[in-house]
Amino acid sequence: MRSIAMIAASCTLASCFVQSAVAGPTRAAKSQAQPQTVPDPVKILVDRLDLERYKATIKGLTQFGDRRQGTDRNRKAIDWIEAQLKSYGCANIERLKYNYQPNPDTRTSMPYTAAGPGTPTPADATSVGGGRPRGLRVRTGVNNDPNAQPDPKLRELDLQPSAPGTREEIYCTKIGVTHPEEMYIVSAHMDGIGWGEAANDDGSGTALVMELARVLSSRDVQTERSIRFILWNNEETGLNGSGAYVEQRKELQGKENPPGSGRYAEPKWLGMIQHDMMLFDHGAPREDGTVSKQQRPEADFNIEFQVNSKFAAQSQALAWALEQADEKYASDYPARVSSHMTNTDSSPFMNEVAAISVRENERGIEIGNGWDPQWHQPTDVYATYYDKDFLLGLNAAQTTLAATAKLAGANLKLANSSGR
């Protein structure tokens, strides 16, 4: 028993083949031929994700404070993201331009901060998105008070107010080899609010998308279909960046330009996967209004589609594709599928194409009930989170990477054929 265990623990894919091949004379003869075991390319890609790299990318984003839209720190963050995408080899970097004039009724005008104590949710309550919330809940809101930020350096960094006007958001695209005219969209929003560092909301989703862009842009990776990585701006003001994208580009889908060139400015949308707040699943508020300081052992992340949308059936199928990818490839945490996607950048897509949202909790019944006390608060800073929080985000990254690689038909080029 002991020697078997030692062999298993010490063998790599290649050496395992050799060990099984030398087990008997007939197999030894076969070992002269090519190995029959083909490594799973999806597993190889997932293994290229790394907790420390993911954390470093989130940390990098927090140097621009809350990255509020319409400010210099937001524009500098976009430039920094662009430089990273370029260094990863993500090709075809472009910017969508649109104009944003604030509406006095936007969510950022809400004056109150999150607070307890936990009070029972009324039995007939319905959450935004249509779900039924349960248990105790606390008040949620957006902090707009600079003095609520105790760190003077960060307060100074977040000081410049948003000015109306021209906005930009960035995307890059991996072009499919056999179907450049079709694509999956993998996205997150890079703007934030609340006088913190927007580390979780949504540095964690932005870093996830950037890490996937890095892995899938590697020169030895080929995909049959295209994949576009988009970092939305103006999510926190009401999905204005993703809304502008749908409005400007939906009619361009699948048009070859110039004809016969094999080039498509806007490949046909096959599915849209949004990521927003990936780190924190510490459970429901307790009677005193607090939640656990630790990631709960039964933590999961949530894949939501909207049951009341035109593409509900297709979106649900996409959600289950991610759930299956989690079961096979995610290292630590499970994924749960639910049907009340709301208030996220996949909403403008949900009547055009299969669209889902990946998040630490359900947006309506859980986040809306106060499950994340850092949400839009000065405490949403990098230092708030522990490795088990970052690990939840990494598990979502493993899941979306695996699902997207499968759906887009990813393959690894053989080492000896690269560079030709």
Stretch that binds Zn ion, among 88-96, 167-175, 270-278, 302-310 (CB under 5 A): 270-278
Q: What single-letter amino acid sits at 334? A: P
Stretch that binds Zn ion, among 32-40, 109-117, 193-201, 329-337 (CB under 5 A): 193-201
Nearest to Zn ion of 169, 202 (CB atom)? 202
Stretch that binds Zn ion, among 69-77, 155-163, 275-283, 303-311 (CB under 5 A): 275-283
Give the shortest CB-202-to-Zn ion separation in angstroms: 4
Nearest to Zn ion of 264, 385 (CB atom)? 385
Give the shortest CB-376-to-Zn ion separation in angstroms: 8
- Cα separations in angstroms, 413 against 91, 223, 408: 18, 10, 15
Q: How are strands ordered across the β-sheet holding 94-100?
A: 94-100, 165-174, 225-232, 179-189, 268-275, 355-359, 301-304, 335-338
Chain positions 372 to 411 lying near Zn ion, rule: CB under 5 A, are none
Stretch that binds Zn ion, among 8-16, 58-66, 272-280, 311-319 (CB under 5 A): 272-280
Nearest to Zn ion of 181, 235 (CB atom)? 235
Q: Residue 250 contacts by C-beta under 8 Å, 6 or more apart in sequence? A: 269, 352
Instruction: Classify residue 352 by burial, with Cβ atoms within 10 Å: 0-12, 13-18, 19+.
Output: middle
Give the shortest CB-237-to-Zn ion separation in angstroms: 11
Asked if 202 is part of the footprint of Zn ion (rule: CB under 5 A), the reply reads yes
Stretch that binds Zn ion, among 23-31, 41-49, 87-95, 274-282 (CB under 5 A): 274-282
- Cα separations in angstroms, 358 against 129, 293, 305, 335: 15, 23, 9, 9
Question: Which stretches of 175-323 are assigned E, i.e. beta strand?
Answer: 179-189, 221-223, 225-232, 268-275, 301-304
Residues pairing with 165 in the sheet: 100
Give the shortest CB-43-to-Zn ion separation in angstroms: 30
Give the shortest CB-328-to-Zn ion separation in angstroms: 28
Stretch that binds Zn ion, among 112-120, 225-233, 269-277, 385-393 (CB under 5 A): 269-277
Asked if 191 is part of the footprint of Zn ion (rule: CB under 5 A), the reply reads no
Stretch that binds Zn ion, among 49-57, 273-281, 353-361, 392-400 (CB under 5 A): 273-281
Q: What is the DSSP letter of 340?
A: B
In angstroms, rounded to a whole number, what is the distance separating the alpha carbons of residues 40 and 370? 41
Asked if 201 is part of the footprint of Zn ion (rule: CB under 5 A), the reply reads yes
Instruction: Classify residue 394 by burial, with Cβ atoms within 10 Å: 0-12, 13-18, 19+.
Output: buried
Give the shortest CB-242-to-Zn ion separation in angstroms: 12
Report phi then psi at 170, rounded to 5: -110, 145
Nearest to Zn ion of 82, 201 (CB atom)? 201
Asked if 366 is part of the footprint of Zn ion (rule: CB under 5 A), the reply reads no
- Pairing mode of beta strands 179-189, 268-275: parallel
Give the shortest CB-205-to-Zn ion separation in angstroms: 7
Nearest to Zn ion of 179, 376 (CB atom)? 376
Q: What single-letter amino acid sits at 130? A: G
Nearest to Zn ion of 180, 393 (CB atom)? 393
Asked if 276 is part of the footprint of Zn ion (rule: CB under 5 A), the reply reads yes
Helix axis angle for 387-408 and 51-62, nearest 10°, is 110
Nearest to Zn ion of 158, 276 (CB atom)? 276
Give the shortest CB-65-to-Zn ion separation in angstroms: 16
Binding residues for Zn ion, total number by CB under 5 A: 3
Q: What single-letter amino acid sits at 333? A: Y
Nearest to Zn ion of 85, 278 (CB atom)? 278
Give the shortest CB-385-to-Zn ion separation in angstroms: 15
Q: Do 410 and 46 contact (CB within 8 A), yes or no?
A: no
- Pairing mode of beta strands 179-189, 221-223: unpaired
Q: What is the DSSP letter of 138?
A: E
Give the shortest CB-269-to-Zn ion separation in angstroms: 22
Report phi then psi at 182, rounded to 5: -130, 145
Q: Which residues bind Zn ion (CB under 5 A)?
A: 201-202, 276
